[in-house]
């Protein structure tokens, strides 16, 4: 029940094509890729900030 079949994916892609049109799809895909890249960059910066701030602390209480 949780997975999509090939026919369902094709129908979803056709609906997206109808909504956004063929000319806007490359622009939409590019913006989604940039958003994903920024998200990953933010995650890596957050992890590096946490590790840098955690280096000076000790677990001894």
Joined tokens for residue 46 = 């957050």
The pTM (predicted TM-score) of the whole model is 0.50
44 in any annotated domain: yes
32 in any annotated domain: yes
16 in any annotated domain: no
Domain residues for the domain of 43 are 23-52
Asked if 26 and 18 count as a contact pair (C-beta separation under 8 A), the reply is: no
Residues sharing a CB contact under 8 Å with residue 28, sequence separation 6 or more, in sequence order = 20
36 in any annotated domain: yes
34 in any annotated domain: yes
28 in any annotated domain: yes
Give how many domains the chain has, as a whole number. 1
1-46: per-residue pLDDT in tens?
A: 578 899 999 999 899 888 888 888 888 889 999 999 999 999 888 8
46 in any annotated domain: yes
């Amino acid at each position: 029940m949780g997975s999509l079949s090939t026919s369902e994916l094709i129908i979803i892609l056709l609906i997206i094509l109808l909504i956004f049109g063929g000319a806007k799809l490359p622009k939409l895909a590019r913006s989604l890729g940039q958003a994903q890249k920024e998200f990953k960059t933010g995650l890596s910066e957050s992890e590096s900030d946490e590790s840098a701030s955690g280096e000076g602390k000790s677990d001894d209480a």
